Structure 1
Amino acid sequence: MRICVFGAGAIGGYMAAMLARAGAEVSVVARGPHLAAMQARGLALVAAEGEFTVPVRATDDAAALGPQDYVVLTLKAHSVPAAVPAILPLLGPGTTLVSGVNGVPWWYFHGLEGPLADTRLESVDPGGVQWEAFGPERVLGCVVYPAAEVAEPGVIRHVEGNRFSLGEPTGERSARALRLAAALEGAGLRAPVRPRIRDEIWVKLWGNLSFNPISALTLATLDRICADAGTRGVARAMMLEAQAVGESLGVRFPIDVDRRIDGAAAVGAHRTSMLQDLEAGRPMEIDALVGAVQELGRLTGVATPVLDTVLGLIRLRARVAGLHPG
């Protein structure tokens, strides 16, 4: 089984390191000093239970790797459309594209019945670039739960979590999903195959669509956002609007909104990914985490006034900082 991790930063690097240690035939596509370090010294993983370094085949030219059995995408959502030409050489007739990207996925309506079947989402796939180039039938959904960071080039620090939930857009327990799950579990990771992967996408998205933009606007950590009555109220209103959108699409939310907020508060003084990107001068995942929910609301006729307001504010914040080209 040939597995390529495209975008082997923190999360992709963590997965690749675990797979390589278990003896999987894994390669990574990366760039810059991180790539150079992996080529020179291998890929190092530092975790609470110990650390190790493994050799990996690392390149910035996917064409040199050839077609794979699985291509795991762990890029930021806004980076994928521009990367499509670089990804295509990895895809053979039987290649599965594992979508480990945060937010509402571009393939969301593939495999669903009803009037919105095969609807393409402009907010996450402008012009249908991914839909046309990859084809949604290749996709295996993946909800990423681990927290990790690139401590230095070639070194991944694992913070917590080891679950990568997998799921077919159609809900079936396919052979390709079970095969990848077995490889991940053999590497010491958790990889349940879910019949309703969109439910998990929404539960993770629920927090990201609210806490991320609020943190970037206020510069506050999760605990402070949840403890402050004003920002907690804004987050809660956004989440209830999003829940109405999700439920209109058949999503089941297994917990209520206040438990979800309390769970975020328990994480403590965490700086969200959007706040980290703002501080580091990197483009923020605004459209996949927030803009797509607005688009889904308009498609389903569900009003999202609070979300719309916060989306307008965070888009302008990003543009003023030069981090949002829209």
Structure 2
Amino acid sequence: MRICIFGAGAIGGYMGAKLAQAGAEVSLVARGPHLAAMQTRGLTLIEEGRTTTVPVRASGDPAELGPQDYVILTLKAHSVPPVVPQILPLLGPGSTLVSGVNGLPWWYFHKAGGQLEGARLASVDPGGVQWDGFGPDRVLGCVVYPAAEVSEPGTIRHIEGNRFSLGEPSGEKSARAVALSEALAAAGLKAPVRPRLRDEIWVKLWGNLSFNPISALTHATLDLLCTDPGTRGVARAMMLEAQAIAETLGVKFPIDVERRIDGGAAVGAHRTSMLQDLEAGRPMEIEALVGSVAELGRLVGLPTPTIDTVLALVRLRAKVAEAAR
């Protein structure tokens, strides 16, 4: 089984290190000093107080790696459309594309059933470049739960979590999903195959939709924005608007809004990924996490007044940050 991780930063690097340690045939696509360090010294993983280094095949040119059985995307959502041509050489006739990207996925309505079957989301796939370039039949969904960071080039520090939930858009327990699940389990990772992966997508998105833009606008950590009455109220309103949309599409939420916000507060003084990107001068995942939900609201005919307000504010915040850069 040939596995390529495209975008082997913190999460992709963590997965790649675990697979390499287990002896899997894995290759990593990265860039810059991180790539150079992996090529020179191997990939180092710091986990549970232990530091291990494994040799890995790392490249900045996907074409030299050849077709893979599985290509696992662990990029920020807005980074994928521009690199579709670079990913295509990794895909042979039987290759599976594993979408480990935050937010609503571009393939969301593939084999979803209902009136929106086959609908495309312009917010996450402008121009349909992923739908047309990859083809939705290749896709295996993945919800990513671990937290990790690139502590220095070539070194991944694992913070918490080891679950990568997998699921077919159709909900079936396919042979390709089971095979990848077994490979990840052999590497010490949890990779359950879920019949209703969209439910998990929404539970994770619930927090990302609200906590991320609020933190970017206020620079508050999770513990503060989830307990301050004002920002907690904004988050609650956004989440309730999103829940109404998701339930219209058949999604079932296993917890209620208050418990989800309490869970965010329990994480403590954590800076969300959107706040980290803003402070580091990187583009923020605004459309995948917020714009996509507003787009879905229009598709199903449900209002999203709070989401629309926060979306307008964080889009302008991004423009101001870009102008400052």
Q: TM-score with structure 1 length normalisation?
A: 0.99
CA RMSD of aligned residues (A): 0.9
Aligned to 1:300: 300
Structure 2 counterpart SS, 1:94:
strand
Aligned to 2:321: 321
Q: Is the 8 A contact 1:281 1:323 kept in 2?
A: no
Once residues 146 and 109 of structure 2 are traced to their aligned partners in structure 1, the CA distance between those partners, rounded to angstroms, is: 26
Task: Give 4+ residue runs of structure 1 displaced > 6 Å after superposition.
Answer: none
Structure 2 counterpart SS, 1:159:
strand
Trace 1:61-140 onto structure 2 (pairs within 5 A).
61-140=61-140
Q: Deviations over 1:105-134 (max 9, x none)?
A: 000000111211000100000010000000
- The alpha carbon displacement at 1:138 in A equals 0.2
Aligned to 1:27: 27
Q: Deviations over 1:165-192 (max 9, x none)?
A: 0000000000000000000000000000
Greater displacement, 107-116 / 212-221 = 107-116
Q: Deviations over 1:237-295 (max 9, x none)?
A: 00000000100110000000000000110000000000000000000000000000000
- The alpha carbon displacement at 1:147 in A equals 0.2
Aligned to 1:5: 5
Q: Is the 8 A contact 1:199 1:252 kept in 2?
A: yes
- The alpha carbon displacement at 1:97 in A equals 0.2
Structure 2 counterpart SS, 1:322:
helix
Once residues 54 and 64 of structure 1 are traced to their aligned partners in structure 2, the CA distance between those partners, rounded to angstroms, is: 21
Trace 1:145-184 onto structure 2 (pairs within 5 A).
145-184=145-184
Q: Is the 8 A contact 1:11 1:74 kept in 2?
A: yes
Once residues 245 and 144 of structure 1 are traced to their aligned partners in structure 2, the CA distance between those partners, rounded to angstroms, is: 22
Aligned to 2:281: 281
Query: Percent of aligned positions with the same letter in both sequences?
Result: 77
Trace 1:167-206 onto structure 2 (pairs within 5 A).
167-206=167-206
Aligned to 2:239: 239
Structure 2 counterpart SS, 1:321:
helix
Q: Deviations over 1:71-125 (max 9, x none)?
A: 0000000000001010000000000000000000000000111211000100000
Instruction: Name the count of aligned residue pairs.
Output: 324
State the one-letter code of the partner of 2:8. A
State the one-letter code of the partner of 2:237. A
Once residues 164 and 51 of structure 2 are traced to their aligned partners in structure 1, the CA distance between those partners, rounded to angstroms, is: 21
State the one-letter code of the partner of 2:247. E
Once residues 114 and 272 of structure 1 are traced to their aligned partners in structure 2, the CA distance between those partners, rounded to angstroms, is: 34
Aligned to 1:220: 220
Once residues 45 and 112 of structure 1 are traced to their aligned partners in structure 2, the CA distance between those partners, rounded to angstroms, is: 38
Greater displacement, 43-52 / 271-280 = 43-52
Q: Is the 8 A contact 1:283 1:323 kept in 2?
A: no
Q: Is the 8 A contact 1:42 1:54 kept in 2?
A: yes
Structure 2 counterpart SS, 1:288:
helix
Structure 2 counterpart SS, 1:230:
helix
Structure 1 counterpart SS, 2:79:
helix
Q: Is the 8 A contact 1:284 1:323 kept in 2?
A: no
Aligned to 2:253: 253
Structure 1 counterpart SS, 2:208:
helix
- The alpha carbon displacement at 1:49 in A equals 4.5
Q: Is the 8 A contact 1:38 1:154 kept in 2?
A: yes
Q: TM-score with structure 2 length normalisation?
A: 0.99
Once residues 103 and 211 of structure 1 are traced to their aligned partners in structure 2, the CA distance between those partners, rounded to angstroms, is: 13
- The alpha carbon displacement at 1:219 in A equals 0.3
1:262 and 2:282 equivalent? Answer: no
CA change 1:43–1:203 in 2 (3 A) is: same
Aligned to 1:310: 310
Once residues 260 and 226 of structure 1 are traced to their aligned partners in structure 2, the CA distance between those partners, rounded to angstroms, is: 10
- The alpha carbon displacement at 1:323 in A equals 7.8
CA change 1:124–1:271 in 2 (3 A) is: same
Once residues 17 and 140 of structure 1 are traced to their aligned partners in structure 2, the CA distance between those partners, rounded to angstroms, is: 21
